[in-house]
Amino acid sequence: MHKILKVFFLVFLAVVVVSVLVEQWGAINLFLWGRPDSEDLAFNHTNLEERGPVVVSSDEQINMDVFNKVHKAVVNIVATTLTINYWQQITPQEGQGSGFIIDDKGYILTNNHVVAKAQKIIVTLGDDKKTRAKLIGRDSSTDLAVIKIPEHMVPSVAQLGNSDYARVGQKAIAIGNPFGLSHTLTTGIVSALDRELEDESGTMLTGLIQTDAAINPGNSGGPLLNSNGEVVGINTAIFSLSGGYQGIGFAIPINQAREVALQIITEGRYASPWLGISGIDLSEDLADALNLQVTEGILVVEVIEGSPADQSGLSGGTQEVTLDNMLIPVGGDIILSVNGQKVEGMKSLVREINRNKVGDGLDLEVIQGNEMNRVYVTLQEKPFD
């Protein structure tokens, strides 16, 4: 019995010693032989030339081509504002955003909220050169602004596309400076069109492009691009419960931004076109309930006194009826089309108005009473609230 215990103990001791040696073999080997030479390491003998070029998919190639084409025209914007702290002291505060160069004279398009109330604007270009920028003008109703850098510092100009050609499902590429990380590219698709969003100032932005390309704080004012590297929108806002990216971002269509930028540069401000009505989108249920002749269009409920609509003879509701516990003004005109384009609702009417400028005329097809009439309206500048 004593011999069996002795043998068992020796076997157990041997197992423990072997286990320790195996576990610590690396350290023991390093102690006995030192660190290996670089020639002894297999990964150091990889011949990169023999491996050939990396396979690039067509989608990856589009991303690279667009970035190489556009990134030099994208800038980082640091806007310094003056605020009053708790002790009534005036202190500078910095905010960051993005923008892109739209003209070789140095004009840069960005968001109004990026540069609003800025006392100083510093632009960082793609080669890390910094320069002071001048505010040319801004418009809070569209959340757009134009700033300018010296002409000789312009490295590249972004090519503006046609946002009317944007379609749901198309590729969307965003380049900007999220959290100050310069020239960051993210990709996604056009998720939806003609969205509405109320910004932080309470302004309702309409006709927006929705995308799932990652847009984070600092991306505001940067370009949203198509596969050709053309700007189709200006990244302006995100929908988020956390304050960060959650897959829903919005961009202002470039066609609208182009007209706003043109007026800001040439006139010093943007004159927003104005019709002067409020209305309700018609539907089959509403038309049946109100016993109307048509099921599509806009029921005009109010016409602002002195507005272009008022001057042209459009009429709003004359009495109120209760429908589904809501008071609805009825008896007003019904707008069916604008400039030959069928009107589906207030969104499409606002979009058509924004395609025009102050002084342009609208040709409206309208039901007035029991008659079908054509009404011509000349748009005026929207008065300040």
C-alpha distances (whole Å) from 165 to each of 10, 59, 193, 207, 323 are 84, 20, 11, 13, 39
Contacts of 20 (CB under 8 A, 6+ apart): none
Residues 194, 199, 204: CA angle, nearest 5 degrees: 50
Enter the tokens of residue 13.
Answer: 């001791």
Please confirm, yes or no, whether 45 is among the known catalytic residues: no
Please confirm, yes or no, whether 113 is among the known catalytic residues: yes
98, 163, 191, 220: the catalytic one is 220
DSSP letters for 259-312: HHHHHHHHHSS---EE--EEEEE--HHHHHHHT-S-SSSEEEEEE-TTSHHHHT
Please report which residue ranges of the chain form alpha helices under DSSP H.
2-23, 25-33, 48-51, 58-70, 112-115, 254-267, 284-290, 308-311, 346-354
139, 143, 212, 333: the catalytic one is 143
113, 183, 272, 348: the catalytic one is 113
Using left for φ > 0, alpha for ψ between -120 and 50, and beta otherwise, residue 117 falls in left
Q: Minimal CA–CA distance to 315: which of 332, 298, 336, 296? A: 332
C-alpha distances (whole Å) from 298 to each of 317, 366, 367 are 12, 9, 10
Q: What is the rounded radius of gyration, in angstroms, for the C-alpha atoms of the chain?
A: 32
Please confirm, yes or no, whether 156 is among the known catalytic residues: no
- Active-site residues, by number, are 113, 143, 220
